[in-house]
Amino acid sequence: MSRGIGKLLEKVIYLGVFFALLVAAVWIFYDKIERFFVFYPFASLDRYPDENRLTYRDVYFETRDGERLHGWFFPGPGDGPVLLFCHGNAGNISHRIENIELLLDAGLGVFIFDYRGFANSTGKPSESGVYLDGLAAYDWLTTEGGVSPEKVVAFGRSLGAAVALETALAREVRAVILESPFTSTKEMAGTMFPFMLLSPLLPENFNNQGKIGSLTVPLLVIHGDGDRIVPFSMGERLYRLAPEPKRFHPIPGAGHNDTYLVGGSEYFDTLASFAAAPG
């Protein structure tokens, strides 16, 4: 064997060992890595509903594993449907006040809450943790909140779509609305460099595509066709995998965070009409 070939084989072996160690490290520390890249909580509330003269209840409630969560309950007019609003991975409930006001104007009630580790909620966020948070929020809404289960619409945006879906599979709800949803964090990693290099080896966390076939209530999927964070095709795939009855509402020109702004009145009319008559 020539000296040149020997050095080449030595480099290949070193690269193989490095890659194997990298894969092992990712598997061992994957939960911490995922938490670092998935969750971006803001520690303080920047605004309050009072500034917009909204009627609401400031509430605290506990999760099954002992965390104390914070939320705002905005009763809608009459005895209509109420959105259990599971927000995205960044910020906190104070960054959704304008959106909430528009939902109230559309005739919907809203209960929005912060996941563990966000703003006034205790703990650290994780996949299993935010699922427990969604269930605790539902339980508060249907007990102390006084909203009957047949009036609850699980609404999740982006990361919140996974929480809304999990809640709908574990509790009785009227319907589910998933906005800008992803199929799984594994497939999301496959869309981003350098994570795409390891995505085939990653676990199927936040596996919406593996769960959505078990839905037994009506579904509405909303997605902007200009979404550069979560591919539009993921929303389409989740819609295809879901059982009937279901609806798909694309928003031309909308990105990931401006669906309700670009969608305008048609967006809110779609949400309100679906919540009122989801079947």
Which residues are catalytically annotated? 158, 227, 256
Query: Which of 233, 264, 230, 235 shows the shortest CA–CA distance to 249?
Result: 235
User: What are the structure tokens assigned to 138, written together?
Assistant: 């539902």
Cβ atoms of 168 and 216 within 8 Å: the answer is no
User: What are the structure tokens assigned to 187, written together?
Assistant: 């497939």
**From CA 232, how far away is CA 222, in angstroms rounded?**
10
Q: Is the dihedral of CA 91, 194, 129, 134 positive or negative?
A: positive
Cβ atoms of 108 and 155 within 8 Å: the answer is no
**From CA 215, how far away is CA 113, in angstroms rounded?**
23
> What is the SS3 assignment for 83?
strand
With 0-12 / 13-18 / 19 or more C-beta atoms within 10 angstroms meaning exposed / middle / buried, residue 250 is: middle
Cβ atoms of 68 and 121 within 8 Å: the answer is yes
Q: Is the dihedral of CA 108, 41, 181, 207 positive or negative?
A: negative
Q: Long-range contacts made by residues 53-59, C-beta under 8 angstroms, separation at least 24?
A: 54/97, 54/100, 54/101, 54/104, 59/140, 59/144, 59/145
**What is the length of the chain?**
279
User: What are the structure tokens assigned to 43, written together?
Assistant: 């520690």
